[in-house]
Amino acid sequence: MPYAPTIYDWRTNCVPLNQVFRAGGQSGDSGLTLGGVRVGNPEPGGRAELRMGFAAFVTEEANIDASWTISRIMNGAVMRVPVHDSVQLVSAAALSGPESGGLPWDNGEPWATGAYWEWNPTAPVTAAAARGATSVSADLGDYGQVLKIGHVVGFTVGAYDFAHAVMDISYDADDVATITVSPPLRRPLTTDHALKFRPRMLAVCANAASVMTTFVSGRHMTFGDAVFVEALV
């Protein structure tokens, strides 16, 4: 049964230099046994993974947010992490249809710029899909056939956010897309939901001890490369 953890939003001052999203394999690493044997937890359809790299945080606000963040992820907290700074997303230039507010993310604008943070282009889901399904349909008529194999999209269902890789896609004459996603849907979708081109995912850090590395010149905190694994909530 799904549980209801406390979910913490990723701090917008902790800007990654890069992000890579991966549709996961069939198991998630769960550590070592007492005998030193590495084991895994099987998960049908796999668990998504997000890797992020960082530069040193140079402002006081970013350093304080980084301090808060490292304490959270070291304690296994579930984080709501935006997948926004990645070439795996449909570009802002291609999404020239209606915007739901704010401005496109381009030209290297910082995450903490509110207008860019709020930009959230979507496409309506056109048919219900069950939990565990791998096929979703969405109306891309406002944008055209901009979504392709390899792009990353997502959905918000209630208080929960999910990201998925597009593994296959086809369009009808009206640009309604039938999309095969990985990992499978974690919640049922209805026609009240929308496909998001700037998704977020719920994840826990798989290498928190490695993320907490050092302070540069004793003044600027820096993160090591972070690996976040989808939280099954």
C-alpha distance from residue 159 to each of 4, 7, 104, 122, 220 (Å): 10, 9, 24, 17, 34
* Confidence at residue 53, expressed as pLDDT on a 0 to 100 scale: 93
Nearest by Cα to 118 from 144, 93, 91, 82: 82
129 has pLDDT over 50: yes
* Confidence at residue 217, expressed as pLDDT on a 0 to 100 scale: 54
What 3-state class would DSSP assign to 62? helix
Nearest by Cα to 156 from 199, 104, 116, 220: 199
* Confidence at residue 175, expressed as pLDDT on a 0 to 100 scale: 96
pTM over 0.85: no
Query: Mean pLDDT throughout 67-74?
Result: 92
Cis peptide before 199 (omega within 30 of 0): no
Return the percentage of the chain with pLDDT > 90, whole number.
Answer: 60
Query: Mean pLDDT throughout 164-187?
Result: 97
Longest alpha-carbon distance in the chain: 60
Query: Mean pLDDT throughout 170-198?
Result: 97
* Confidence at residue 144, expressed as pLDDT on a 0 to 100 scale: 95
CA distance 116 to 91: 14
88 has pLDDT over 90: yes
67 has pLDDT over 60: yes
For residues 23 and 125, which has the higher predicted lDDT (pLDDT)?
125
* Confidence at residue 230, expressed as pLDDT on a 0 to 100 scale: 95
What average pLDDT does the structure give for the chain?
Answer: 83
**Per-residue model confidence as pLDDT tens digits over 205-226:** 999 988 987 655 567 788 999 9
* Confidence at residue 40, expressed as pLDDT on a 0 to 100 scale: 47
